[in-house]
Amino acid sequence: MAFLFFHRATLSFFFFFLCLLPLLSSAQRPSNLRLERAYVALQAWKQAITADPKNITGDWSGPLVCKYTGVYCAPALDNPSQITVAGIDLNHGAIQGTLPIELGLLSDLALLHLNSNAFRGTLPGSLTNLRLLYELDVSNNQLGGDFPSVVLELPSLRFLDIRFNRFCGGVPSCLFDLPLDALFLNDNQFTFSIPENIGNSPVSVLVFARNQITGCLPKTIANMRKTLHELIIMSTGLRSCIPPEIGQLTKLTVLDLSHNDLVGNLPSTIGNMTSLEQLDVAHNELSGEIPSGICDLPKLHNFTYSYNYFFKEPPRCLTIRSHDDRQNCFPLRPLQRPPSQCAAFLSKPNSCDSIGCIASP
């Protein structure tokens, strides 16, 4: 009996290492509740996928979710002895399907990268369970409907990229109260006016391009001076003047306000934006003189102001490495608008006040 007992114990010991060593060595642990929940979530997601041309989810079966393609595991933040699903990266998967409610079971997820797929529908409200979600990139999909307000309830979110989708309707102003580092809303069908609290947003990159923006560009944008590096508001139909306060954005390197209906002058305060490298105000209804301070900016190497009604430019603007002054009203420059067009435009009121935006003194 004693021999038999000893023998079984030895065998158990042997099997313990034989079975678990390979798992342990690849950062796997026996299944825990977190991984079981992840398994339920990922199987539900696989069901919700209608086409997977690159067979990325082909290996999404069995309990070892950490071995699934695109699924990344790490020790849980609140219990490092447990492995959990911390990231999912299906970028460029061309996957068709929807995002099921079960994704809310992935409560330890920090990164969710789904860019360049063909997910339809919207972001499920259950994502509010993802208290650790730090980066959410669902760009270049076919998501639609109203602004996915669940993103407003994610306390750890710092990077939000929902560009190139079919979201429509308004953009909630409280979005700009979130502690985000980067915000990409471009290439959707949002219709909104930029709220006064935009200045509360600590983002370094803000891209609104190719949505529809009504109302005025608020002067409170100057409150982003400590953090904002890139501001892209091209092709939004924005009809406003450019508030002189914009010159306080001294960390800004890229400012693109092109393809809008901006009126009035280019504020001379832009000459204070000492970090500016690229400035594009082309295709607007701006007029007046190009302030010489702008063309003196030490880092400015690309200044595009074509297709406006400017009538005077300092010669040094023409020494900027890449500049474009076509289709304005400069008397001695090539490729300008016909004088009759300039005269007709400049005879009409085109100040800030004429469009209902309040000009700052």
Ligand X SMILES: *[C@@H]1O[C@H](CO)[C@@H](O)[C@H](O)[C@H]1NC(C)=O
Q: Which residues bind ligand X (CB under 6 A)?
A: 55, 58-59, 247, 268-269, 271-272, 278, 280, 293, 302, 304, 322
- In this structure, what DSSP letter does residue 154 have? -
Q: Which two tokens stand for residue 229?
A: 């590096």
What sections of the chain are H helices per DSSP?
A: 2-25, 33-48, 292-295, 339-346
Q: How far is the CB of 159 from ligand X (least distance, A)?
A: 24
Q: Classify 294 as helix, strand or coil.
A: helix
Q: Classify 357 as helix, strand or coil.
A: coil
Q: Which is nearer to ligand X, 202 or 293 (CB)?
A: 293
Q: Which is nearer to ligand X, 59 or 353 (CB)?
A: 59
- In this structure, what DSSP letter does residue 170 have? -
Burial of 31 (0-12, 13-18, 19+ CB in 10 A): middle
Q: Which is nearer to ligand X, 65 or 138 (CB)?
A: 65
Q: How far is the CB of 212 from ligand X (least distance, A)?
A: 21
Under 8 Å between Cβ of 303 and 317: yes
- In this structure, what DSSP letter does residue 250 have? T
Burial of 268 (0-12, 13-18, 19+ CB in 10 A): middle
Q: Which is nearer to ligand X, 88 or 246 (CB)?
A: 246
Q: How far is the CB of 217 from ligand X (least distance, A)?
A: 18
Q: How far is the CB of 228 from ligand X (least distance, A)?
A: 17
Q: How far is the CB of 215 from ligand X (least distance, A)?
A: 24
Q: Which is nearer to ligand X, 203 or 270 (CB)?
A: 270
Q: Which is nearer to ligand X, 30 or 63 (CB)?
A: 63
Q: Which is nearer to ligand X, 58 or 169 (CB)?
A: 58
Q: How far is the CB of 349 from ligand X (least distance, A)?
A: 24
Q: How far is the CB of 181 from ligand X (least distance, A)?
A: 24
Q: Which is nearer to ligand X, 173 or 268 (CB)?
A: 268
Burial of 3 (0-12, 13-18, 19+ CB in 10 A): exposed
Q: How far is the CB of 327 from ligand X (least distance, A)?
A: 14
Candidates 212, 219, 215; CA nearest to 235 is: 212
- In this structure, what DSSP letter does residue 30 have? S
Q: Using CA atoms in the order 63, 68, 71, 76, what is the torsion angle rounded to 10 degrees? A: 30
List of residues 6+ apart from 43 with CB closer than 8 A: 60
Residue nearest to ligand X as judged by C-beta position: 58
Other beta carbons within 10 angstroms of residue 331's beta carbon come to 9
